[in-house]
């Protein structure tokens, strides 16, 4: 049985088995079709969503590569998931780190933890540690896959399963867009997917260590990310197409 905090309990017994069968079948068909679109990669944060996608990719033997952004500020549990996943599935997770000079410039300008002081500093940190490495990671690919879901955040409630990533001139797929957290955990239990230990300690959305905390009872999944900011700013810039209702209006 997989248990998170009392607000986010989910077991296969409580989940509709027919729903899981339908979702899994659709996900498998979607990833099979995506894998035929040229050179494709999954951007994995080693979170439960990305582990579900990795499991399907490995289980079906799909020609989809996996990479992660090694920001230098990840939780030790998340870093340990890289080797654990590679061993479990017999694949290589390619790691992309920040460019050393740009990182040194950020620290010199804002300080190591300057991201707490302003939105400008936080976005600058994400730019150095995530956005620039992502650009390198996506070089040479025709499409990429994310584990985004619509119910994760206000900025994702209009998320499409297929969209054009104009920032990188690629097609981006979000095959879990319609899934909810209970769906993710039910799949993980059904297929014995290894999960980041942080999930069992109340972390639903996982990012860098200093910018992520466990959520409290009644809080939204993304409330643990950049908790000192407003809900409509909680994106690092990796998903630049994401908009909330207010910005669309």
Query: Is 80 in contact with 72 (CB distance < 8 Å)?
Result: no
CA distance 40 to 212: 29
Measure CA of the first residue to CA of the last residue in the chain; give whole Å: 43
Question: So which residues are the catalytic ones?
Answer: 236
The pair of three-digit structure tokens given for residue 229, joined into one six-digit string: 């900011």
Reference 151, options 186, 176, 188; nearest CA is 176
Alpha-carbon torsion, ordered 89, 205, 8, 158, to 10 deg: -100
| Cβ burial, residue 21 (10 Å; 0-12/13-18/19+) | exposed
In the three-class reduction of DSSP (H, G, I as helix; E, B as strand; rest coil), residue 53 is classed as helix
* Structure token digits, residue 118: 């302003």
Contact 103, 72 (CB under 8 A): yes
């Amino acid at each position: 049985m997989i248990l998170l905090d009392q607000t986010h309990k989910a077991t296969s017994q409580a989940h509709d088995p027919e729903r899981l069968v339908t979702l899994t079948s659709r996900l498998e068909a979607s990833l099979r079709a995506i894998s035929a679109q040229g050179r494709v990669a999954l951007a994995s944060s080693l979170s439960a969503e990305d582990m579900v996608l990795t499991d399907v990719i490995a289980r079906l033997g799909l020609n989809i590569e996996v990479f992660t952004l090694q920001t230098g500020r990840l939780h030790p549990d998340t870093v340990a998931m890289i080797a654990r996943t590679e061993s479990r599935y017999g694949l290589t997770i390619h790691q992309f780190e920040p460019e050393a000079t740009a990182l040194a410039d950020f620290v010199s300008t804002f300080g190591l933890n300057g991201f707490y002081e302003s939105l400008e500093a936080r976005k600058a940190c994400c730019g150095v540690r995530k956005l620039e490495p992502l650009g390198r990671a996506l070089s040479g690919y025709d499409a990429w896959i994310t584990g985004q879901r619509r119910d994760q955040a206000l900025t994702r409630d209009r998320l499409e399963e297929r969209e054009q990533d104009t920032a990188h001139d690629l097609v981006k797929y979000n095959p879990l867009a319609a899934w909810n957290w209970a769906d993710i955990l039910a799949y993980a239990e059904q297929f014995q997917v290894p999960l980041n230990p942080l999930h069992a300690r109340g972390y639903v959305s996982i990012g860098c260590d200093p910018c992520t905390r466990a959520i409290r009872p009644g809080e939204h999944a993304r409330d643990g990310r950049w908790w000192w900011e407003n809900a409509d700013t909680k994106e690092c810039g990796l998903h630049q197409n994401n908009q909330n209702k207010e910005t669309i209006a």
